[in-house]
Amino acid sequence: MTLVGKKAPNFNAPAVVNGNSIEQNFSLEQFVGNKYVVFFFYTKDFTFVCPTELHAFQSKLAEIEARGCAVVACSTDTEESHFSWLQMDKNQGGIKGVTYPLVADTTKSIATNYGVLAGDYDYNELGELVAEGPMIAYRGLFLIDKEGIIQHALVNNLPLGRNVDEAIRVLDALRHVEENGEVCPANWTEGEKAMTASFDGVAEYLSAN
Protein backbone atom coordinates (compact mmCIF):
# COMPACT_ATOMS: atom_id res chain seq x y z
CA MET A 1 0.00 0.00 0.00
CA THR A 2 1.26 3.49 -0.82
CA LEU A 3 2.40 5.84 1.91
CA VAL A 4 1.61 8.93 -0.16
CA GLY A 5 -0.74 11.21 1.75
CA LYS A 6 0.13 9.56 5.06
CA LYS A 7 2.35 10.49 7.96
CA ALA A 8 5.94 9.45 7.34
CA PRO A 9 6.84 6.54 9.65
CA ASN A 10 9.05 7.85 12.41
CA PHE A 11 12.14 6.16 13.77
CA ASN A 12 15.02 6.66 16.16
CA ALA A 13 18.21 5.09 14.82
CA PRO A 14 21.95 5.69 14.66
CA ALA A 15 23.17 7.90 11.83
CA VAL A 16 26.45 9.34 10.66
CA VAL A 17 26.03 13.12 10.38
CA ASN A 18 28.31 15.65 8.69
CA GLY A 19 30.37 12.75 7.42
CA ASN A 20 32.33 12.47 10.64
CA SER A 21 30.24 11.80 13.75
CA ILE A 22 27.68 9.24 14.90
CA GLU A 23 24.36 10.36 16.36
CA GLN A 24 22.70 7.50 18.22
CA ASN A 25 19.09 8.70 18.14
CA PHE A 26 18.55 10.36 14.80
CA SER A 27 14.93 11.06 13.85
CA LEU A 28 13.05 12.79 11.05
CA GLU A 29 10.84 14.42 13.67
CA GLN A 30 13.43 17.20 14.02
CA PHE A 31 12.36 18.52 10.61
CA VAL A 32 8.58 18.59 11.18
CA GLY A 33 7.25 22.13 11.05
CA ASN A 34 10.56 23.40 9.72
CA LYS A 35 11.80 21.68 6.56
CA TYR A 36 10.85 19.44 3.69
CA VAL A 37 12.81 16.17 3.58
CA VAL A 38 14.07 14.07 0.71
CA PHE A 39 14.48 10.70 2.44
CA PHE A 40 16.01 8.00 0.28
CA PHE A 41 17.10 4.41 0.71
CA TYR A 42 20.08 2.83 -1.01
CA THR A 43 21.00 -0.84 -1.08
CA LYS A 44 24.43 -1.31 0.52
CA ASP A 45 27.67 0.40 1.45
CA PHE A 46 30.77 -0.40 -0.63
CA THR A 47 28.77 -1.20 -3.77
CA PHE A 48 28.55 0.26 -7.28
CA VAL A 49 25.39 2.20 -8.17
CA CYS A 50 25.00 3.50 -4.60
CA PRO A 51 28.05 5.80 -4.51
CA THR A 52 26.96 7.42 -7.79
CA GLU A 53 23.62 8.29 -6.19
CA LEU A 54 25.10 9.47 -2.91
CA HIS A 55 27.58 11.76 -4.68
CA ALA A 56 24.84 12.99 -7.04
CA PHE A 57 22.72 14.10 -4.09
CA GLN A 58 25.76 15.72 -2.48
CA SER A 59 26.51 17.66 -5.67
CA LYS A 60 22.97 19.10 -5.58
CA LEU A 61 22.76 19.48 -1.80
CA ALA A 62 23.16 23.27 -1.77
CA GLU A 63 20.34 23.61 -4.33
CA ILE A 64 18.06 21.35 -2.31
CA GLU A 65 18.82 23.03 1.01
CA ALA A 66 18.20 26.46 -0.58
CA ARG A 67 14.63 25.25 -1.10
CA GLY A 68 14.22 24.62 2.64
CA CYS A 69 14.70 20.88 2.29
CA ALA A 70 16.96 18.40 4.08
CA VAL A 71 18.42 15.28 2.49
CA VAL A 72 18.66 12.06 4.52
CA ALA A 73 19.86 8.67 3.26
CA CYS A 74 19.36 5.22 4.77
CA SER A 75 20.52 1.65 4.25
CA THR A 76 20.46 -1.54 6.30
CA ASP A 77 24.22 -1.35 6.98
CA THR A 78 25.60 -0.41 10.39
CA GLU A 79 26.66 3.07 11.38
CA GLU A 80 30.25 1.80 11.60
CA SER A 81 30.04 0.62 7.99
CA HIS A 82 28.66 4.01 6.94
CA PHE A 83 31.48 5.76 8.78
CA SER A 84 34.16 3.59 7.18
CA TRP A 85 32.77 4.17 3.69
CA LEU A 86 32.73 7.91 4.33
CA GLN A 87 36.48 7.80 4.94
CA MET A 88 37.16 6.27 1.51
CA ASP A 89 38.03 8.58 -1.37
CA LYS A 90 35.68 8.95 -4.31
CA ASN A 91 38.28 7.65 -6.79
CA GLN A 92 38.39 4.40 -4.77
CA GLY A 93 34.62 3.92 -4.81
CA GLY A 94 34.08 5.68 -1.48
CA ILE A 95 31.75 8.49 -0.49
CA LYS A 96 34.14 10.86 1.25
CA GLY A 97 32.68 14.36 1.13
CA VAL A 98 29.04 13.34 1.67
CA THR A 99 27.75 15.51 4.52
CA TYR A 100 24.02 14.74 4.80
CA PRO A 101 22.96 12.09 7.37
CA LEU A 102 23.29 8.37 6.63
CA VAL A 103 20.88 6.37 8.80
CA ALA A 104 21.74 2.82 9.89
CA ASP A 105 18.65 0.61 9.63
CA THR A 106 20.30 -2.45 11.17
CA THR A 107 16.99 -3.85 12.43
CA LYS A 108 15.49 -3.43 8.93
CA SER A 109 12.42 -1.95 10.58
CA ILE A 110 12.70 1.41 8.81
CA ALA A 111 12.85 -0.20 5.35
CA THR A 112 9.94 -2.46 6.36
CA ASN A 113 7.79 0.45 7.57
CA TYR A 114 8.46 2.38 4.35
CA GLY A 115 7.64 -0.69 2.25
CA VAL A 116 11.03 -0.96 0.54
CA LEU A 117 12.63 -4.03 2.13
CA ALA A 118 13.73 -6.50 -0.55
CA GLY A 119 12.90 -9.72 1.25
CA ASP A 120 10.88 -10.98 4.17
CA TYR A 121 11.10 -13.20 7.22
CA ASP A 122 9.33 -16.56 7.32
CA TYR A 123 9.46 -19.90 9.10
CA ASN A 124 10.67 -23.14 7.52
CA GLU A 125 9.19 -26.60 8.04
CA LEU A 126 11.19 -26.94 11.28
CA GLY A 127 9.72 -23.77 12.70
CA GLU A 128 13.01 -21.91 12.33
CA LEU A 129 13.04 -18.24 11.40
CA VAL A 130 14.58 -17.73 7.95
CA ALA A 131 15.09 -14.80 5.63
CA GLU A 132 13.75 -14.96 2.09
CA GLY A 133 15.44 -12.49 -0.24
CA PRO A 134 18.50 -10.27 0.18
CA MET A 135 16.98 -8.30 3.11
CA ILE A 136 18.30 -4.98 1.86
CA ALA A 137 16.43 -1.86 0.77
CA TYR A 138 15.13 -1.17 -2.70
CA ARG A 139 15.99 2.30 -3.99
CA GLY A 140 13.06 4.09 -2.38
CA LEU A 141 12.75 7.87 -2.34
CA PHE A 142 10.18 9.83 -0.34
CA LEU A 143 9.44 13.55 -0.40
CA ILE A 144 8.05 14.60 2.96
CA ASP A 145 6.40 17.97 3.50
CA LYS A 146 6.87 20.28 6.47
CA GLU A 147 3.95 18.65 8.28
CA GLY A 148 5.60 15.23 8.05
CA ILE A 149 3.28 13.96 5.31
CA ILE A 150 4.66 11.96 2.37
CA GLN A 151 3.78 13.78 -0.87
CA HIS A 152 5.81 11.75 -3.37
CA ALA A 153 7.22 8.22 -3.43
CA LEU A 154 9.43 6.45 -5.96
CA VAL A 155 10.84 2.93 -5.69
CA ASN A 156 13.42 1.53 -8.11
CA ASN A 157 14.69 -2.03 -8.26
CA LEU A 158 18.27 -2.63 -7.14
CA PRO A 159 20.14 -2.05 -10.45
CA LEU A 160 18.32 1.20 -11.36
CA GLY A 161 19.81 4.48 -10.17
CA ARG A 162 17.62 7.53 -9.64
CA ASN A 163 17.58 11.02 -11.16
CA VAL A 164 18.38 13.71 -8.60
CA ASP A 165 17.14 16.48 -10.90
CA GLU A 166 13.74 14.78 -10.96
CA ALA A 167 13.66 14.79 -7.15
CA ILE A 168 14.34 18.53 -7.25
CA ARG A 169 11.65 19.05 -9.91
CA VAL A 170 9.04 17.35 -7.73
CA LEU A 171 10.17 19.39 -4.72
CA ASP A 172 9.75 22.56 -6.79
CA ALA A 173 6.28 21.40 -7.84
CA LEU A 174 5.24 20.78 -4.25
CA ARG A 175 6.47 24.19 -3.19
CA HIS A 176 4.65 25.83 -6.10
CA VAL A 177 1.38 24.08 -5.24
CA GLU A 178 1.64 25.13 -1.60
CA GLU A 179 2.59 28.72 -2.37
CA ASN A 180 0.31 29.42 -5.34
CA GLY A 181 -2.67 27.09 -4.99
CA GLU A 182 -2.17 25.86 -8.56
CA VAL A 183 -1.50 22.34 -9.82
CA CYS A 184 1.50 21.30 -11.90
CA PRO A 185 0.95 19.53 -15.24
CA ALA A 186 3.14 16.90 -16.87
CA ASN A 187 6.83 17.78 -17.24
CA TRP A 188 6.36 21.06 -15.35
CA THR A 189 9.56 22.76 -14.19
CA GLU A 190 10.20 25.80 -12.04
CA GLY A 191 9.38 29.02 -13.88
CA GLU A 192 6.88 27.46 -16.27
CA LYS A 193 3.17 28.20 -16.21
CA ALA A 194 1.10 25.93 -13.99
CA MET A 195 -2.70 25.79 -14.04
CA THR A 196 -5.81 25.99 -11.91
CA ALA A 197 -7.53 22.76 -10.95
CA SER A 198 -10.54 23.26 -13.20
CA PHE A 199 -11.74 22.30 -16.67
CA ASP A 200 -11.18 25.88 -17.80
CA GLY A 201 -7.66 25.76 -16.40
CA VAL A 202 -6.89 22.53 -18.25
CA ALA A 203 -8.33 23.88 -21.50
CA GLU A 204 -6.33 27.10 -21.22
CA TYR A 205 -3.12 25.22 -20.49
CA LEU A 206 -3.57 22.68 -23.30
CA SER A 207 -4.46 25.32 -25.86
CA ALA A 208 -1.29 27.24 -24.98
CA ASN A 209 0.87 24.14 -25.21
Catalytic residue among 50, 69, 74, 184: 50
User: Are 155 and 138 a contacting pair, CB within 8 Å?
Assistant: yes
What is the Cα–Cα distance from 65 to 56, expressed in whole angstroms?
14
Residues 6+ apart with CB under 8 A from 207: none
What is the Cα–Cα distance from 169 to 194, expressed in whole angstroms?
13
User: Are 32 and 146 a contacting pair, CB within 8 Å?
Assistant: yes
What is the Cα–Cα distance from 119 to 125, expressed in whole angstroms?
19
What is the Cα–Cα distance from 9 to 55, expressed in whole angstroms?
26
Query: What is the number of other CB atoms lying within 10 angstroms of the CB of residue 192?
Result: 12
What is the Cα–Cα distance from 97 to 123, expressed in whole angstroms?
42
DSSP helix/strand/coil, 51: helix
Please confirm, yes or no, whether 50 is among the known catalytic residues.
yes
Q: Which residues are catalytic?
A: 50
